[in-house]
């Protein structure tokens, strides 16, 4: 297993100014470079004047070997020559302006530590207090595609605020560093090799459930709309320790026994969404085996798996539920009617609302008078 599978962190939070997230790339960074860059943004009080240092073992979660250092060397080398482009105005507008800025003025790697120094032009964008996006670094620790990491970074801007994000195909290519790639000029190739693989990586290895809708202008796909939400299992895993804490009483004397360091570590890992297997594997690397076994016997609820869920079915239904109010609003229905529709669909996933929406869209496209918005509203409220 290589370095990219072994990277793990605890509660480190990536905190980046939104201008960084929207920045465009000339070419994509390798996966290890992407993760190093995001890890650098987990450090507090970043400044352009100071060297930012962290231990290699912090990044890897263990002491490095020769193969690890070789890959880190490759990743740091790619970061040293990386630059981003700031500016969102189109070429044909009067406000067109671009800034092409190298990310780092210096990177230093040795067997124990990595030192970064950001380009001085970023001094107003480091350690932001507003207009920033924040998420757990552990959310990207298992990802396998550099494009998926970048896409997750982009979609995280809307989590908790919006149910979807619409973006043009060309803008997404420029953010991923693929605008000049001849291999993906054809949309079918871009969709098959980039979009679908990124969606699979995000859905399997992060805390987000994402679906995609292609939007065409004529016969050509020009825009993409991503629908996303936090996975239900992630919410349950995070909520579990809170529930235990709220229900804590002193009637059972065993519950008042002070927790040892190992027990606390196990609870911390569970609260961050680690599975039972990951927790055991990590503790077996760092702690005495018999102590782990003793802890499991005394407090089995700490490492119990969350209640089983039908993941793929839940995610598919949740994504459709997220799309529903957006589609109904686009058709011109009022919010009170939309709320009724969402409530009915939530209670009965077999409700034929999507057939009615598609029939109405076809009628509008073919300039037919029936069905129309009024008949759809009547059908929803019936």
CB neighbour class for 81 (10 Å; exposed up to 12, middle 13-18, buried from 19)? exposed
Residue 379 banded pLDDT, cuts 50, 70, 90: very high
Q: Does residue 217 share a domain with residue 147?
A: yes
Q: Does residue 99 share a domain with residue 169?
A: no
Cβ contacts of 98 within 8 Å, gap of 6 or more: 85, 86, 87
- Sign of the C-alpha dihedral computed for residues 172, 228, 154 and 327 taken in this order: positive
Q: Does residue 94 share a domain with residue 53?
A: yes
Mean pLDDT of the chain: 77
Q: How many CB atoms lie within 10 A of CB 20?
A: 19
* Whole-angstrom distance, CA of residue 282 vs CA of residue 270: 12
Can you read off the two tokens belonging to residue 361? 């869209």
For residue 136, being part of any structural domain is answered with no
Which of 109, 130, 151 is the last residue in one of the domains? 130
- Tell me: pLDDT of 76 over 90: yes
Q: Mean of the pLDDT values across residues 45-66?
A: 82
Render 294-359 in DSSP notation, one character per residue. HHHHH-GGGSPPPPP--HHHHHHHHHHHHHHHHHHHHTT--HHHHHHHHHHHHH-TT-THHHHHHH
For residue 291, being part of any structural domain is answered with yes
Q: Does residue 37 share a domain with residue 58?
A: yes
Q: Does residue 162 share a domain with residue 258?
A: no
* Whole-angstrom distance, CA of residue 326 vs CA of residue 315: 17
In the prediction, which pLDDT does 226 show? 93
Domain encompassing residue 261: 232-302
Strands 52-55 and 164-168: unpaired
- Are 119 and 80 spatial neighbours (Cβ–Cβ below 8 Å)? no
In the prediction, which pLDDT does 212 show? 92
Render 228-283 in DSSP notation, one character per residue. EEE-HHHHHHHHHHHHHHHT--SSSGGGGSPP-HHHHHHHHHHHTT--HHHHHHHH
Q: Does residue 54 share a domain with residue 35?
A: yes
Q: Does residue 123 share a domain with residue 16?
A: yes
- In terms of pLDDT, which residue wins out, 271 or 85? 85
For residue 340, being part of any structural domain is answered with yes
Q: Does residue 164 share a domain with residue 95?
A: no
Q: Does residue 36 share a domain with residue 110?
A: yes
pTM of the model: 0.59
Q: Does residue 240 share a domain with residue 224?
A: no
63: left (phi over 0), alpha (psi -120 to 50) or beta: beta
Which of 130, 158, 173 is the last residue in one of the domains? 130
For residue 196, being part of any structural domain is answered with yes
Which residue in 59, 176, 70, 174 sits closest to 116, CA to CA?
A: 59
* Whole-angstrom distance, CA of residue 109 vs CA of residue 140: 23
**pLDDT tens string 176-213:** 999 988 889 899 999 999 999 999 999 999 999 999 99
Q: Mean of the pLDDT values across residues 330-337?
A: 88
Calculated CA dihedral for residues 243, 245, 251, 252, nearest 10 degrees: 90
In the prediction, which pLDDT does 291 show? 35
Which of 302, 329, 356 is the last residue in one of the domains? 302
Render 154-212 in DSSP notation, one character per residue. HHGGGTTT-SEEEEEHHHHHHHHT-TT-GGGSSHHHHIIIIIHHHHHHHHHHSSEEEEE
In the prediction, which pLDDT does 247 show? 42
Q: Mean of the pLDDT values across residues 229-256?
A: 48
Q: How many CB atoms lie within 10 A of CB 159?
A: 17
Q: Which residues of 114-135 are buried (b: 16+ CB within 10 A; e: fewer)?
A: bbbbbeeebeebbebeeebbeb
In the prediction, which pLDDT does 100 show? 87
Can you read off the two tokens belonging to residue 4? 């990219």
Residue 150 banded pLDDT, cuts 50, 70, 90: very high
**CATH, residue 31:** 1.10.10.10
For residue 11, being part of any structural domain is answered with yes
276-281, Cβ contacts within 8 angstroms, sequence gap of 24 or more: 276/303, 276/304, 276/305, 279/303
> Domain tally for the chain?
4
- Are 27 and 99 spatial neighbours (Cβ–Cβ below 8 Å)? no
Phi, psi dihedral angles at 186 (to 5 degrees): -75, 125
Q: Does residue 43 share a domain with residue 106?
A: yes
For residue 240, being part of any structural domain is answered with yes
- Kind and range of the H or E element at 31? helix 31-40
Interhelix angle 289-298/261-271, nearest 10 degrees: 70
**pLDDT tens string 294-330:** 333 333 333 344 444 344 445 567 778 888 888 888 8
Q: Does residue 42 share a domain with residue 122?
A: yes
Render 121-136 in DSSP notation, one character per residue. GGTTTSS-SSSEEEEE
For residue 135, being part of any structural domain is answered with no
For residue 120, being part of any structural domain is answered with yes
């Amino acid at each position: 297993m290589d370095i990219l599978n072994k990277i793990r962190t605890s509660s480190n939070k990536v905190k980046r100014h939104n201008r960084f997230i929207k920045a465009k790339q000339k070419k994509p960074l390798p996966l290890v470079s992407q993760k190093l860059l995001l890890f650098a943004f987990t450090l507090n009080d970043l400044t352009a004047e100071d060297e930012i240092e962290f231990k290699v073992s912090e990044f890897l979660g263990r002491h490095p070997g020769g193969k690890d250092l070789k890959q880190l060397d490759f990743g740091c080398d790619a970061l040293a020559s990386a630059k981003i482009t700031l500016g969102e105005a189109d070429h044909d507008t009067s406000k067109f302006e671009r800034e092409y800025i190298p990310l780092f003025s210096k990177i230093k790697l040795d067997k124990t530590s990595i030192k970064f120094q950001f380009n001085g032009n970023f001094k107003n964008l480091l350690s932001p207090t507003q207009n920033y996006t924040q998420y757990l670094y552990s959310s990207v620790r298992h990802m396998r595609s550099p494009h998926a990491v970048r896409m997750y970074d982009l979609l995280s801007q809307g989590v908790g605020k919006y149910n979807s994000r619409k973006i043009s195909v060309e803008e997404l290519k420029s953010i991923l560093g693929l605008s000049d790639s001849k291999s993906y000029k054809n949309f079918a190739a871009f969709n098959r090799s980039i979009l679908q693989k990124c969606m699979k990586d995000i859905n399997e290895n992060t805390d987000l459930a994402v679906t995609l809708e292609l939007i065409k202008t004529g016969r050509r796909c020009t825009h993409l709309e991503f629908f996303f939400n936090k996975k239900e299992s992630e919410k349950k895993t995070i909520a579990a320790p809170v529930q235990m804490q709220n229900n804590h009483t002193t009637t059972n004397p065993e519950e008042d026994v002070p927790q040892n360091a190992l027990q606390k570590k196990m609870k911390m890992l569970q609260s961050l969404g680690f599975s039972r297997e990951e927790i055991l594997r990590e503790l077996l690397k760092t702690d005495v085996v018999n102590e782990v076994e003793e802890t499991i016997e005394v407090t089995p609820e700490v490492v119990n798996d969350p209640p089983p869920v039908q993941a793929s079915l839940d995610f598919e239904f949740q994504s459709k539920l997220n799309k529903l109010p957006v589609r109904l609003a686009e058709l011109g229905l009022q919010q009170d009617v939309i709320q009724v529709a969402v409530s009915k669909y939530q209670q009965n996933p077999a409700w034929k609302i999507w057939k009615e929406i598609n029939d109405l869209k076809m009628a509008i496209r073919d300039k037919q008078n029936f069905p129309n918005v009024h008949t759809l509203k009547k059908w929803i409220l019936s």
